[in-house]
Structure 1
Amino acid sequence: MTSRYAQVVVDVPTQQTNQPYTYLIPDELAQRVQAGVRVLVAFGHRSVLGYVVALTDQLPEDIQEDQVKDVLTVLDERPVLSTELLELAKHLAEKNFSYWVTFLALMLPTSLKASYRKKLIAQPSLSDADRLAYLDGQQERLVKMKDFSAKGWRAIRQLEKAGLLKVLTVIENQGKVKTTTAFQTNPDREALEEISSSLSKGAKQQRAIVDFAIAHPGQTFSKEDWLEQLDVSFATLGVAAKKGILKKVAVEVKRRPDRLADGQKDDIKQLNDEQEVAYQAITSANDDHQQEVFLLEGITGSGKTEVYLQAAQKAIDRGEQVLFLVPEIALTPQMQKRVEDRFGDQTALLHSGLSVGERYDEWRRIHEGKVQVVVGARSAVFAPLDRLGLIIVDEEHESSYSQSENPHYSARDVALWRGRFHHAPVVLGSATPSLESRARAQKGLYHFLRLTKRANPHATLPAVSIVDMRQEQLDRGDTNFSSGLLEQLKAVLARGEQAVLMLNRRGFSSFVMCRDCGFVPRDPNCNLAMTLHMDSRTLKCHYCGYQEPIPHICPVCGSNRIRYYGTGTEKVETELAALLPDYPVIRLDQDTTRRKGAMAKALADFGQKKAQILLGTQMVAKGLDFPDVTLVGVLNADTGLGLPDFRASEKTFQLLTQVAGRAGRAEHQGEVVIQTYNPDHYALKYAQKHDYEGFYRQEMAIRHAAEFPPYFYTVQIQCSASEENQVALQTAKIAAWLKKRLPEDVLLLGPSPRSIAKLKGRFFFQMILKMKKPNEVDALLRDLVDQSQKADKDFALEVRRDPVSFM
């Protein structure tokens, strides 16, 4: 028996509409309306998209039957959101003080968030009056939902039911199905034989086509298949179609992301003792359908990926699916290649680097159950997998797993939620786990697994030396290369080996300044010093994209003594060209990898030794595995240490340990040189010794003394407006309101301007709440979010739970 009513969350993201609304399911749509489909409904005086989250036979007590509107139409043949994802969206909206509909939309590819039209096609028996009323007297018409009232749509559905009108849904967006031309053979053998007998003796190509059609009646072949099998021209196929031998048809072609696999099957490697222990622990939990969380802490090069792949194979052999998350898929093409080499066409990719069409088609392959392994970045955690048997979160410490813009969520937390839902093990892997995960492992909440030696028995951890750049500056003046690093670099290159150099700042220089008056050009939208880019001869803001020409005369004092300060990857590339002119450099940063496929090509070129030097920002620290890299140089280890962020030391240690791990991964001994102006900082000292456990103990002691996570839970309340005075005053009022209502054991810090106080023309203030219990003030914060809806339209308030940074 079908339900009478649908509970629909409408696509109107406000606090007042953050709830399901009840709609009547018309009889003609009863079979199509299911939980998880998208529908069009009347809301107020307009038609909007909505998501059916439940079906019911009961009206809410406060609603009368005559107040209930109809579901206008259904947009999907089958649900696009499973019961699990509907539940997850509601959970995330509540946890992150956001809107239900925002998370529902987030789980779908862009193609399914677009506008829809209906194509009305007249059937032979449609009356002239109805043709005039609904099709403007035409044979077919493309209409929007707002073109007819609810009464008009009801009449259209009745005409469709009676077979007088055909109604098709047309998606108006970039995510259309891609088609190619194909030719279908005539299924009527008698007709084909008749055509054959009428052909002249000279029509050899037409005869070849008709003979093939008689042998394959009613079958469809692509244009390429026809040309290959019969060696005929496209024009000849067109003539055959006119004669009735063939019928020209459009067939769908699934768009696939560029495959990095080279056709060679990735061999399953023999696990060492430590890897075997980890593999057995994970697969036994998988066998028993235990929802267990594993923290796999393994030094760089210890073979974590091989453990992942073999555990994934075991899950696949059981008929289950695997979700494999990496921090940024665009930065880890080598991981993509390894997974594709191992699992082939069973693999799907989901990440923001794909085109809209590719993402739509990959999502549909997953949704149709044609995929066993999904590899992707943060948003792939919402992949529509219904037989999840294993979830892997590689480099689990990475902050890119947390979405900073609205709606806020952590992909790592979502992975844990989905693991509980499917009773599937979750593996969190890293050489430098986040302090929160490591602390949970210490408490026994996570199953702790360690890999302490490199998988390659001939490879050892590289020797790390720290260079004090204060002394180098006194001895050699302003330079990016200490004498020691330069000598080692020349020796490595002379031996035919390779080097990776990291500077976590792109551009030519950090900023431009007038030497006479001190003027620094700033971006008008963000009030930040802009970065110089010599290749485009512009100053750019890396936050909002604003750019302007490099000034030659100071606009304040008229001086021409404009000078460049600081350094970036572009400037280092120029310096290397002067120091080592015989050795080309491959540069990796956001400026050089903007084009699709540029990152994978650059790494492929480096792998083929078209260049011996790879220079880049932090993207060279992750996931790279090149056997001939024997030297890693960190040109300035201090770029992250001075940030006003309680995680600055942790992030610096993680980055240095990760990039150091790129060296000496094969037979040759690796060396790492870290240049710094803070040689005695504990994060650098522990990175030098590859001592994660030592760093963990010291950093935890500091966090405990300062009352920061993981000892305390935090919430960031951020306010913004286009007028600084307005946001400062409003934030102060909110702080006073909170202080009267917060429990005594909850600490409120601020309000104060955010570290980047102006961004894209808006001013930002923030407050931080620190508490011992995670949900202690949830009710109060929901009340605050509700109240903020009544504020001035220009004022915006966001609440972020456990932010990865307070900047």
Structure 2
Amino acid sequence: LLHGITGSGKTEVYLQAIANVLARGEEAIVLVPEISLTPMMVQRFKERFGSKVAVLHSGLSGGERYDEWRKIHRREVSVAVGARSAVFAPFTNLGLFIIDEEHETSYKQEENPRYHARDVAIERAQHHGCPVILGSATPSLESRARAQKDVYTYLALPDRIGQYAYPEVAIADMKEELHAGNRSMFSRVLMEKLREVVARNEQAVLFLNRRGFSTFVMCRDCGYVLQCPHCDISLTYHKRFEQMRCHYCGYQERVPHECPACQAEHIRFFGTGTQKVEEELTKWMPELRIIRMDVDTTQRKGAHERLLKSFENEEADVLLGTQMIAKGLDFKKVTLVGVLAAETMLHLPDFRAAEKTFQLLTQVSGRAGRHDLPGEVIIQTYTPEHYSIELSALNDYEAFYQKEMAFRKRGQYPPFYYLALVSVAHEEQMTCLEEVEKMARYLRKSLSDQAVILGPVASPIPRIKDRFRYQCMIKYKNEPALLPAMRKLIEQYAEQIQKKEMQVAIDMQPYAML
């Protein structure tokens, strides 16, 4: 486990380790969590290793992916860089696995086969007798706990390269802003700092953990919120298309001009999306040049690369985006990072909510002041007292780790317990509930008394694509009977699953709780 703060030179460690491996005539696989990180990472690897590098990610067309795969197969290249599925690159003489940003949940595949790239890498590395480097500025609690128990070797890079200091981080309490009469989505300190950055001809990164224009649409008279007719989730407003969209099943409809429930005309947009932030910024500073990066603007092939390139070439003052801009990016002129709604992830029904918030804020803060110019970070939030926000501002991973581990121990969550999630989806609500209750009874009978079986309960989003969803959670430490019991469950329902009457998903070590 290579625990290096942002800007400490983890990539250089990777490059030198790979150079050693290649000198021995062996091969290396490098995993990066998201397609948006791939261009920068690939550029650095190609600068060092030239044509020996193959790139594998979902943004490639079928033909391009086949070409890269064939290069590996024919041993024309020795290094594969890519997202999750690159862990299966068909090298035969592996000397090293590197997993960058190892804490990232995108390494876990949420459809069948539900593998975690980290586990696959460790399994393959044991077969080849080679090391695995897990790199992160904010390691997952599971990895850090394994390092503490000497299951993993722990290596630390506590300082930034050169004399560059970690950026100054300030927390802006949005409740106080409201009391002071500031009703905008930007705190006064962030507005002031943005003006200064533009005046100095430097750049800023603004991060919002959402996409779309507003989060939901509500009637102010009767409180009706526009829901998706096929899923139990509110529709999101997308201004560019003047549409309401469901981010789960893709359902879309026109924006209503009056409330469907009470016919009042007081329809209001609530929440904040990237499009809305862009509009507000332009109103406030018309001369501001903004590049927006979210799922809507990066759908076209090569869009990630093009947008990041134009920001690097200083064709814009502000890079505004969702999670895809939070990590791995390295721009010389970025001296200000603004986080617009730090608490959006904190209130999700997920025991990892605080951990994900801490990781994301620490990562995004690390985009500022990575070179000669000092950096500043402003974190805007309505919950400034939460420990994940306070400790990310102090860049204190150890304090966060201790506090979060105590919470996990009390709640019997990983890394103290393993989890397994059994989810069932069916068009008939009662059938779904009956079947999942049967499964729970079977598991209680098959497993030891040490296993904790929670549920069955309705999933946090109880209906998606007209199918009702129920789930059962199993917490366990050592349960040899678990895998045979799970296999038997799948066998029992094989026919219904095959006929698509019922969906049964078994997820060992789940990451997506919704």
* SS of residue paired to 2:180: helix
C-alpha distance 597-791 of structure 1, shift in aligned 2 (>3 A): closer
- Distance in 2, Cα, partners of 1:488 & 1:519: 39
- Distance in 2, Cα, partners of 1:663 & 1:737: 53
- Distance in 2, Cα, partners of 1:774 & 1:483: 55
- Distance in 2, Cα, partners of 1:526 & 1:429: 38
Question: What letter corresponds to residue 674 of structure 1 in structure 2?
Answer: I
Query: Which of the numbers 132, 136, 144 marks the counterpart of 1:438?
Result: 144
* SS of residue paired to 2:240: coil
C-alpha displacement of 1:724: 1.7
* SS of residue paired to 1:409: coil
Query: Which of the numbers 95, 115, 128 marks the counterpart of 1:409?
Result: 115
Residue of structure 2 equivalent to 1:329:
35
Query: Which of the numbers 483, 503, 506 marks the counterpart of 1:796?
Result: 503
Residue of structure 2 equivalent to 1:680:
385
Residue of structure 1 equivalent to 2:289:
584
CA RMSD of aligned residues (A): 1.1
CA contact (8 A) 1:587 1:615 kept: yes
CA contact (8 A) 1:713 1:774 kept: no
Query: Which of the numbers 364, 369, 383 marks the counterpart of 1:664?
Result: 369
- Distance in 2, Cα, partners of 1:335 & 1:637: 27
Query: Which of the numbers 616, 621, 629 marks the counterpart of 2:321?
Result: 616
Query: Which of the numbers 56, 66, 85 marks the counterpart of 1:350?
Result: 56
Which ranges of structure 1 fall in alignment gaps of 5 or more residues? 1-294
C-alpha displacement of 1:330: 3.2
Superposed counterparts of 1:597-636, under 5 Å? 597-636=302-341
- Distance in 2, Cα, partners of 1:736 & 1:486: 57
Question: What letter corresponds to residue 476 of structure 2 in structure 1?
Answer: M
* SS of residue paired to 1:592: coil
Q: Does 1:338 align with 2:44?
A: yes
C-alpha displacement of 1:791: 4.2
Question: What letter corresponds to residue 379 of structure 1 in structure 2?
Answer: S
Residue of structure 2 equivalent to 1:651:
356
Identity of aligned residues (%): 53
CA contact (8 A) 1:492 1:498 kept: yes
- Deviation digits for residues 242-279 of structure 1 (CA, Å, limit 9, x no counterpart): xxxxxxxxxxxxxxxxxxxxxxxxxxxxxxxxxxxxxx
C-alpha distance 774-668 of structure 1, shift in aligned 2 (>3 A): farther
Residue of structure 1 equivalent to 2:158:
452
Task: Tell me the matched-pair count.
Answer: 512
Residue of structure 1 equivalent to 2:187:
482
Query: Which of the numbers 716, 726, 744 marks the counterpart of 2:449?
Result: 744
Q: Does 1:390 align with 2:107?
A: no
Residue of structure 2 equivalent to 1:88:
none
- Deviation digits for residues 331-374 of structure 1 (CA, Å, limit 9, x no counterpart): 44211111111111111011100001100111111111111100
Task: Select the structure with the greater relative contact order (CA < 8 A; seq sep ≥ 6).
Answer: 2
* SS of residue paired to 2:190: helix
CA contact (8 A) 2:447 2:481 kept: no
- Distance in 1, Cα, partners of 2:36 & 2:204: 21
- Distance in 2, Cα, partners of 1:569 & 1:718: 33
C-alpha distance 382-561 of structure 1, shift in aligned 2 (>3 A): same
C-alpha displacement of 1:560: 1.5
Q: Does 1:532 align with 2:237?
A: yes
C-alpha displacement of 1:790: 4.4
C-alpha displacement of 1:776: 4.4
CA contact (8 A) 1:315 1:321 kept: yes
* SS of residue paired to 1:366: helix
* SS of residue paired to 2:283: helix
Query: Which of the numbers 572, 594, 607 marks the counterpart of 2:299?
Result: 594
Residue of structure 1 equivalent to 2:220:
515
Superposed counterparts of 1:192-203, under 5 Å? none
Question: What letter corresponds to residue 799 of structure 1 in structure 2?
Answer: I
Q: Does 1:637 align with 2:329?
A: no
CA contact (8 A) 1:330 1:353 kept: no
C-alpha displacement of 1:312: 0.3
- Deviation digits for residues 91-114 of structure 1 (CA, Å, limit 9, x no counterpart): xxxxxxxxxxxxxxxxxxxxxxxx
Superposed counterparts of 1:92-241, under 5 Å? none
C-alpha displacement of 1:509: 0.3
* SS of residue paired to 2:155: strand
- Deviation digits for residues 153-194 of structure 1 (CA, Å, limit 9, x no counterpart): xxxxxxxxxxxxxxxxxxxxxxxxxxxxxxxxxxxxxxxxxx
Residue of structure 1 equivalent to 2:87:
381
Question: What letter corresponds to residue 16 of structure 2 in structure 1?
Answer: Q
CA contact (8 A) 1:329 1:336 kept: no
C-alpha displacement of 1:591: 0.4
Q: Does 1:506 align with 2:211?
A: yes
C-alpha displacement of 1:775: 4.1
- Distance in 1, Cα, partners of 2:10 & 2:289: 33
Question: What letter corresponds to residue 33 of structure 2 in structure 1?
Answer: P
Query: Which of the numbers 487, 499, 506 marks the counterpart of 1:782?
Result: 487
- Deviation digits for residues 769-804 of structure 1 (CA, Å, limit 9, x no counterpart): 011116441111211111122447411211111111
C-alpha displacement of 1:685: 1.1
C-alpha displacement of 1:633: 0.3
